[in-house]
Chains A and B, each alone.
Chain A
Amino acid sequence: MSQHYPALLVIVPLLSALLISIVGWLNKRFCFPIAVAALSVSLYSSVGLLLRVMDEKVILYFLGGWDPPWGIAYSVDHLSALVLVVVSVVALLNLIATQKSVEQEFSEKIGAFYTLYLLLITGLLGIVVTGDAFNLYVLLEITALTGYGLIAMGEDRAPLASLNYVYMGTIGACFYLLGIGYLYISTGSLNMTNISSILPGLYDSKVVLAAFIICIVGVFLKMAFFPLHAWLPNAYTYAPSAVSSLVAPLMTKVMIYVMIRLMLTVFTPAFTFSNLALSNSVVWLAVIAISMGAVLALGARDMKKMLCYVVIAEVGYMVGGAWLGNRAGMTGAILHIANDALMTLCVFLAVGNIVYKVRGYAFEDLKGMFRKMPYTMTGLVAGALSMIGVPPTCGFFSKWYLISGGIQAGQYGFVAALVFSSLINAVLFFRIIEIGYYEPFGADHGHGSSPVRMAEAPLTMVVPLLIVAGGLVMMGVYTGDIITHIIEPIIPPAIGN
C-alpha cells in the first residue's frame, strides 16, 4: 500500500468529500468524524512520503499506468513533501479547532461546509503533489472555487469581497493557463520535468520569456503579491473565522510553492536568474510589499484586517527571498513557507477563539483578555513572538536566512525592509498585548472591580492552538535538522552563492 501514498493522499479526501455530501442529506452527525478520518489518513500518507523521500530522492507515481509525458505523473521531492506535511497538519488542526464555531454558524448546511472544506484540501494537496502543468491548473481552480464559496458565507460584506476575489483569482488562473499554452506551443509537452528537459534549447526564444512572465504574473495575482493584493484584506477579514484560519495560512503559501516550482523545476535556475532586470524588479516589488503591508497594518482598525496586512508582508518576504538568487535566500523562503503557515494558523486560531466567545474582533474587544482567556492569549503571544522574529521561535531563523541572503546578494533595500517590518510587527503586537493585559474588563464602570472569571473557549479550540504554539518553538529548535535534511537537497547547485 505504501507505494500508493501519493494517490491516497489526494483520493481519500476527495472520496470522503463525496461521502459527506451524501451523508449530509441523511444524517448530519456523521460529517465531522468522516472529515477527521480522511484528513488523518492524508496526514499519515504525507508523513510517510516525507520519510520515503528522504531515502529515495524523487518519488514518481504514474496515474492510469501511462508513462509521462503521455499520462499524468505525480512527482514528489523534498520540497513537495515538506509542503504536504505542512498542509495536512494545518488542515487537521484547523478542522478540530473550529468544530464548535462551525456548528454555531452553519448548523443547517454542515454537510455542504465539510464537503467544501475537504475539496479545498484535496485541491491544495493535489497542487503540491502533481508533476503536470495542466493538472495544476485544474486543481488550482478547484481550490479557488471552493475558497470563493467558503469565504462568501461570512458576514455582511463577505459576498462582495468574495466577488472581487473571483475576478482577480480568475484572471490569475487564466494567465497561468495562457502561460502553459505558450509553453505547449513551443515544446509540445505538459509534464514539468519533460518541459524542463526540452527548454534549454529554446532559452532565447521570445515565447519562452513571455510564457515565464505570464505564468509568474498569474501566480502573483493568486498569492496577493503587491501590486495585485487588493483582494486579500477584505476577503480574509469578512470570511467566517473557521474559514479564515484555513485559507490564510494555506492558500498563499501553496501559491508560493507553485512559484518556486516554476522557477526551479520548469524553468531551471539558469534561466530564471539570468535576466537580472526581472529579478531586481521583483525584489524591489517585494520591498514595497513588505513596507506597505507593515504600514497599512498599523492603520488597520480591527485585528483581522491587521493580520491580513501582516500576511501580505509575509508574502513579500518569501517572494523577495526566492528571487534573491542565492542559496541562503532560497533556503529562507522555503523555510518561511513552513514557518509562516504555522504562525498564521496560530494567530488566526487565537482570533477565532476570541470571536467565538466575544463575537467581535475589534481592538476594544480584547480588553482584559489575559484574565478571561489565558490559554488563548498564550497562543497569541507565541505567534506574535514568532512573527516579530524572536528566538527560539521559528520565525527568527527564517528571517535570519532571508537577511543573510539579502546581504549576500547586495540587496540592502530588502534587508532594510525586513528589519523595518520586524519593528513594526513588534509595535503592532505589543499594542495588542497591552490592550489585553492592562485594562481589566469592566473596571471603568466605576462600580468596583468584580473579580474577572475565566471564560475560556472550549477545550477542542484551545488544545490545537497550544499544539501549534508548541510546534512553533519546536520548529525553531529543530531548524538545523530541517535545513540539512529537507531543504538543502531541494536547491540545485546551479544557484550561485
Chain B
Amino acid sequence: MVILTGALLIYAMGDFPSWADPASPAHNHVSPRYIEKSLEQTSVPNIVTAVLADYRGYDTMFETTVVFAAGVVCFFLLRIPRKDEPTVRRYRHTLTGMTIRVKETRQIPPVLEEFERIDTLWAPHDLIIKTCCRILVPFLQLFGLYVIAHGHHSPGGGFQGGVILGASMILLAISHDLRTAIGRMSERVHAILCPVGVFIYAGTGALCMVLGLNFLDYGALAGILHVDPVTARSHGILIVEIGVGLAVMATMIWIYNNISSKGKYDEGL
C-alpha cells in the first residue's frame, strides 16, 4: 500500500517545474507583490514576518489557537486534581539521614532546605549543572526577548522567541527539579498567561473591528497610536508577535509540566 502511494506521487512529479526555477507559476502570481510591496505597505523589512502577521495574520491567529488548544488538551487529559494527591509524604533530613513520615496533608515548607522529599521520583542534583543552568537562564530569556522584538529586521518573530523563552524555564525544570520551576512560575500563572497571549492577538483584531475596519486590519490602529497607517501596521505586527510569544512560552511550559510529571506536578525528569 505504501509502494502504491509512492508510485502515485512519483507519477505526479512528472509535471513539476524544475527546482529553483524563477519562472515557475508559484513564484509569479502572488509572491512578487509580497516581495515588492511589503516594505512600503507595512514598513517591515522581513517579508516573512510581514506576510505571516499582516497579510495572512488570520492564519497565524488560528495557529496560536492550535498551540493553546494543545496546551489545554494536555492539561485536560493528564492533570490529576490536587485533592487526589497522596496524603502521606516522606522527608529525609540531609544532615543526619533520618526519615520522617508526615501524615494528614501537612507538609514541611520547602524553605527548610535540610529536608528533601523522597517519596516521589527523585534524582540527585548535580551542583555543576545546577549552577551553570542558573547562570544561563537569564541570558536565554534575554535572547528570547531579542528574537521576538527583532522579528521585523532579522529572522525571528513570535513563535521562535516564545519557544526560546519557554525553553529557558524548562531548562530550569530539568536542571533543578520540577518543584523549583513551579515555585518560580506557578501553574496558575502560566495557565492564565496562555489564553492572555492569544487574547492579545484576537483582541487586537477585534479592536480593529470595533474601530471600523475589517478584522485584523491594523490600519485602524493608526488613530490610537497617532502614527500613519503604514507604521501602524508595523506596530500592530509587533503587538501580535508579543501576544504570540507569550502564548507559545506558556504553552510549552504547560505541556512540559503535564507530560513529564504525568499530571501529578510533583516531580519531573
Contact = CB atoms under 8 A, between A and B. Distances in A.
Does a CB–CB distance below 8 Å link A and B in the complex? yes
A451 interface: no
A149 interface: yes
Contacts of B73: 116, 145-146, 148-149
A303 interface: no
B216 A138 contact: no
Interface stretch (A10-18, A254-262, A281-289, A383-391): A10-18
B15 A64 contact: no
B199 A63 contact: no
Contacts of A206: 11-12, 14-15
A189 B214 contact: no
B76 A25 contact: no
B86 interface: no
A141 B66 contact: yes
Interface size class of B (residues with CB under 8 A): 35 or more
A185 interface: yes
A139 B214 CA distance: 20
B91 interface: no
B248 interface: no
B26 A72 contact: no
A251 B62 CA distance: 18
B85 to A, nearest CB: 13
A7 B72 contact: no
A69 B205 contact: no
B186 to A, nearest CB: 11
Contact of B81 (A7, A108, A152): A108
A138 B66 contact: yes
Contacts of B218: 64
Interface stretch (B154-162, B169-177, B189-197): B189-197
Contacts of A61: 214
Given A112-B72, A145-B69, A70 B34 contact: yes
Contact of A64 (B62, B66, B202, B215): B215
Given A21-B195, A25-B192, A112-B72, A189 B59 contact: no
B93 interface: no
A44 to B, nearest CB: 16
B48 interface: no
A182 B12 contact: yes
A127 to B, nearest CB: 11
A70 B33 contact: yes
Given A11-B205, A21-B195, A66-B55, A149 B62 contact: no
A187 interface: yes
The 5 nearest A-B residue pairs measured at CB: A210-B12, A149-B73, A188-B29, A65-B217, A18-B195
Given A4-B209, A7-B215, A21-B191, 15 more contacts: A18-B68, A18-B195, A18-B198, A18-B202, A22-B199, A62-B214, A70-B30, A112-B76, A119-B65, A134-B56, A186-B26, A188-B26, A206-B12, A210-B9, A210-B12
24 contacts: A4-B209, A11-B205, A14-B202, A25-B188, A62-B214, A63-B215, A64-B217, A65-B214, A69-B30, A109-B75, A109-B76, A115-B72, A116-B73, A122-B65, A135-B59, A139-B62, A145-B66, A145-B69, A148-B73, A149-B73, A149-B77, A184-B26, A189-B29, A206-B12
